[in-house]
């Protein structure tokens, strides 16, 4: 209860936490109403680079939840931000990924081209992935392009089960080229740093909520934050039991978290209660 009571900022994953596939989790609107009511600030930070922040704003609106664009941080935006820190404006980039990633990089001032003579190869989840795309990316890396991955997620949760994630694509290219990617998304620190800057947060009052142990939970721990695992997505109880990475708190879903948090905030503070006489 004490850990929940002191939280004022959240970095929240979406797929597997707020919805699964196209289905919202039960208690979704109640969860956000709780956060707004108690003035708990949040950033929705997802490793999915295939959708823009406005895609998520619109999806949540269809589910009855209103969020602002600045409260959403997909890894396509984080990747564009990272490249702006290390690359000159106008650098040439080959993208394996969806339109959201291509648009984020273009808006950040980079030339997005489908050629092998490039400065960077940026790889995100690609629904139209083909061997030809992988071969072109591999040749660009062989030619000296720097290899960037939006995220290392091995799987992602769909309505009917798990699917291979972007980490599988990165592993293919790494095995082919012998070059390890620079990964921007969770569990690397950049997304957590951007999210905390947006909220004006400090580690002592911030927690990460996610469904993946090797990304959300490990990344939160690396960033010195409290970690809350949801068992509504990619992690099963047996996976949790066998994992060396352990969260600070575990809940079945956001409905269970909301109920526990509400109880923590309404329960008497033991620090303010007189000591019982023995």
**Residues ≥6 apart with Cβ < 8 Å to 155:** 162, 163, 164, 165, 167, 234
Query: What are phi and psi for residue 20, nearest 5 degrees?
Result: -135, 115
Q: Which two tokens stand for residue 8?
A: 């004022």
CA 78 centroid distance within chain = 10
* Distance from C-alpha of 27 to C-alpha of 257, rounded to nearest angstrom: 10
Query: Torsion over CA of 139, 141, 115 and 166, rounded to 10 degrees?
Result: 100
250 touches 229 (CB < 8 A): yes
* Cα–Cα nearest to 226, from 196, 249, 244: 249
DSSP letter at 215 equals I
Report the DSSP pairing between strands 146-149 and 120-123.
Answer: parallel
Element (H, E) at 229: strand 226-230
- Which helix (H) or strand (E) is 105 found in, with range? helix 99-107
**Known catalytic residues?**
13, 15
């Amino acid at each position: 209860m004490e850990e929940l009571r002191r939280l004022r900022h959240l970095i929240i994953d979406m797929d597997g936490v707020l919805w699964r596939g196209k289905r919202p989790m039960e208690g979704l609107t109640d969860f956000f109403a709780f956060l707004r009511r108690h003035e708990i600030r949040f950033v929705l930070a997802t490793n999915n680079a295939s959708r823009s922040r406005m895609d998520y704003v619109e999806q949540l609106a269809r589910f009855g939840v209103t969020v602002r664009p600045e409260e959403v941080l997909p890894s396509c935006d984080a990747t564009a931000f990272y490249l702006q820190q290390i690359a000159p404006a106008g650098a040439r980039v080959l993208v394996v990924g969806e339109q959201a990633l291509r648009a984020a990089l273009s808006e950040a001032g980079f030339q997005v081209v489908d050629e092998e003579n490039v400065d960077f190869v940026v790889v995100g989840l690609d629904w139209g992935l083909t061997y030809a795309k992988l071969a072109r990316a591999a040749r660009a890396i062989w030619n000296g392009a720097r290899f960037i991955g939006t995220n290392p997620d091995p799987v992602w949760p769909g309505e009917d089960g798990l699917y291979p994630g972007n980490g599988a694509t990165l592993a293919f290219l790494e095995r082919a080229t012998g070059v390890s990617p620079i990964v921007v998304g969770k569990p690397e620190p950049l997304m957590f740093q951007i999210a905390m800057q947006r909220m004006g947060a400090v580690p002592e009052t911030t927690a990460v909520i996610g469904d993946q142990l090797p990304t959300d939970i490990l990344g939160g721990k690396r960033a010195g934050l409290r970690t809350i695992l949801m068992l509504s997505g990619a992690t099963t109880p047996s996976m949790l039991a066998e994992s060396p990475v352990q969260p600070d708190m575990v809940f079945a879903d956001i409905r269970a978290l909301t109920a526990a948090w509400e109880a923590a905030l309404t329960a008497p503070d033991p620090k303010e209660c007189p000591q019982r006489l023995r």
